[in-house]
A and B are shown apart, each in its own frame.
Chain A
Amino acid sequence: MHGPDIQWDVVLSALLFATGALGVMLRRNPLIILLSVEIMLNSANLLLIAMSRLHGGEDGQIFAISVMAVAASEVVVGLGLIVALGRRNVELDVDKLRTLRG
């Protein structure tokens, strides 16, 4: 079984990363910014797994699983912050969040 070469996965990963970065820069809703960050993390994971396949070692996949765990932690903290904002009836718009006073 011989499918597409690794370079196609690299191109796809670059496109996904650019899409996620576009979302982070374009959107103002913190929820969608978090979702776009997930896209960027996943594009890095795709690249790690592609390189792991290229070099024939499992280290890249180990790294990808660690990235997954870090992404899950980041989502927990990010969503906790957003829920805390929502409970104070602050408008969910990162352009309007200017102070960090509690």
Chain B
Amino acid sequence: MANFLVWVVWLVAAFACLASALAVVSFSNPFYSALALIGNLAALAVLYLLLSGEFVAAGQVLVYGGAVMVMFLFVIAYLGDRTDESPWSGGPSWQVVGAILAGGAILAEICVVVGLKAGGLLSKPQHIGRSFGSPEALGRAFLTDHLLAFEVTSIVLLVAAVGGVVLGSHARLESH
């Protein structure tokens, strides 16, 4: 029974994930696309939970679904109503056909490479303890084995913040 429930939750989350990703690509209004991406991120957080990534799922909802998407929506609202053309309107152009062919080629490549290299190994997950993916375990890993990644991440965020301020400052525009 528990297996069946996990399957149902996985299928619902996977379907929501794919449908909202297609919605992001298809909507002509960027505001709707951003709202669809929030649904995509929430569905992905459910998938992370099923894979025992508790802390990553919480971080996904807080950092992506909260902070990053609020920034997106704010910028879209700031830029005002500039409705884009729908990608599917006006018949199939060579760009649309080429993009769909290239997307299908990427999908086929990934499936072939993963299937050839790791096809048989994917169905035997290791046994994991109860604390796998908990904040405690991840914090321990971050502050022992992956301290350099932790520190470099902070520098990357600082540089991005400075870059955002420089790009968004009025002073540079007015000096012209």
Contacts and interface: CB of A to CB of B under 8 A. Distances in A.
Chain B, interface SS category: helix
B122 A7 contact: yes
Interface in B23-57: 24-25, 27, 30, 33-34, 37, 40-41, 44, 47-48, 50-53, 55-56
Interface residues of A, number: 71
Chain A, interface SS category: helix
Nearest to B165: A80
Nearest to A77: B163
B17 A53 contact: no
Contacts of B48: 46, 49
Contacts of A23: 24-25
B56 A49 contact: yes
Interface in A29-85: 29, 31-32, 34-36, 38-39, 42, 45-46, 49-50, 52-56, 58-59, 61-62, 64-66, 68-77, 79-84
Interface of A: 1-12, 14-23, 25-29, 31-32, 34-36, 38-39, 42, 45-46, 49-50, 52-56, 58-59, 61-62, 64-66, 68-77, 79-84, 86-87, 92, 102
